[in-house]
Structure 1
Amino acid sequence: MKLNMFPLIAVIISLAIPAVAAERHMMQSLVPADKLADARALMNPLPKSPEVVKEGKTLYDGKGACFNCHGKDGDGNGPLAAQLNPSPRNFQHHGFWRHRTEGEIFWVIKNGSPGTSMVGFGGQLTDKEIWSMIQYLRGFAGEHGPGMMGRGQGMGPMMGRDGGMGGMGQGGSRGEMGGMEGMKGCEGEGCPQSNSNP
């Protein structure tokens, strides 16, 4: 009896496409191309002190209301996330931090991001408050810390707590894609290593 492999291959490919699209979405800058160089040049003037991080958390959970979309844990699975397309960023994803400067993140928080549900908060938050929040957001990436522009050591969780794509799932529930949460503390062989490419 001859086994037709086409249906199996089609299923495998159809399952891989959403994951690849989600990863691509995670790596794309949300700053318009004509503003990108200026955004990347911005530097956070605030130290990563406990006081600054605490202020950032207060803003994230309060005045900024970021948790509604990005989740209490920064995983992109906030209460409103399922209604948004594209899904909110997963700040736990180390690849995201490796491909972003703080200036890009500042620009998006202040100005919003065309083609997404991310509105600008420049009218509600001062520049200092936005920079404080960025210091807090960096902590979502765990022990691999800033990971910005190639300084991180691992990819971290590409999936959310429930196995969803950290707000990146396509259709259906956010728990359909399987989980990779265990990579958060990944070190050594088999763990993605950063490079210095922006």
Structure 2
Amino acid sequence: MGYVARVLALVAVGMFVSATASVAEEKDPLKPRVPADQLAEAKQMKNPVEATPENIAKGKALFEGKGTCVNCHGKEGKGDGPAGAILNPSPRNFTNCKFHKKRKDGELFWVIKNGSAGTGMVSLVPAAITEEEAWTIINYERSFCKE
């Protein structure tokens, strides 16, 4: 199934879920989304893209553009984007600093690359972005935590 077809299917499922659920909340913000048998390996992955101001700006452009992250996670990363409004559970709230302290970059990369079962998060690598772009987006996502 192509990327556009997956997104359309996601929207259709999200509309059904939204119609049958009263309040969408972020699903287990501190629980790992990587399967247990892959978690240790994901945690060991290091972000090869340095978190410089220039790279964070590139991550923002990807988040709001090619990566399509803004559609679900919102411009301020709160999980309140227009497409995210119909999802249950709601998309990840990247302003949650407890989440950032608990998750390693490799775990975030794994979710961007593989999607997240039980949520609306679909695989974006390589359908929409490259691995390097995913790492760049992670640096920007980390900037939403202001602690």
Q: TM-score range by the shorter chain?
A: 0.7 to 0.9
Q: Which has the higher contact order (CA 8 A, sep 6+)?
A: 2
CA-atom RMSD, angstroms?
1.4
Report the Cα distance in structure 2 between the residues aligned to 1:46 and 1:26, rounded to whole angstroms.
25
* Distance of 1:62 and 1:84 partners within structure 2: 20
Please point out which of 129, 133, 141 is paired with 2:145: 141
Q: Alpha-carbon deviations, 1:76-97, whole Å to 9, x = none?
A: 1111222111110000001111
Report which of the two has the higher share of helix.
Answer: 2
What is the CA–CA distance in structure 2 between the aligned matches of 1:55 and 1:104, rounded to whole Å? 21
Greater C-alpha Rg: 1
Off by >4 Å, runs of 4+ in structure 1: none
Q: In percent, how many aligned pairs have the same letter? A: 49
After superposition, give the CA deviation of every residue in 1:2-45 in whole Å (9 maximum; x if it has no partner): xxxxxxxxxxxxxxxxxxxx687111111111111111110011
User: For residue 28 of structure 1, what is the amino acid of its counterpart?
Assistant: K
Aligned match of 2:81 = 78
Secondary structure in structure 2 of the residue aligned to 1:27 = coil
Q: Distance in 2 between matches of 1:34 and 1:137?
A: 25
**Mapped partners of 1:30, 1:84: distance in 2:** 17
Structure 2 residues not aligned, in runs of 5+ = 1-24
Q: TM-score, with normalisation over the residues of structure 1?
A: 0.59
Say if 2:59 and 2:138, in contact at 8 Å, map to a contact too. Answer: yes
Which of 41, 56, 59 is the aligned partner of 2:59?
56
Are 2:92 and 1:89 aligned? yes
Q: Please report the TM-score for the alignment, with normalisation by the length of structure 2.
A: 0.79
| 1:102 aligned residue | 105
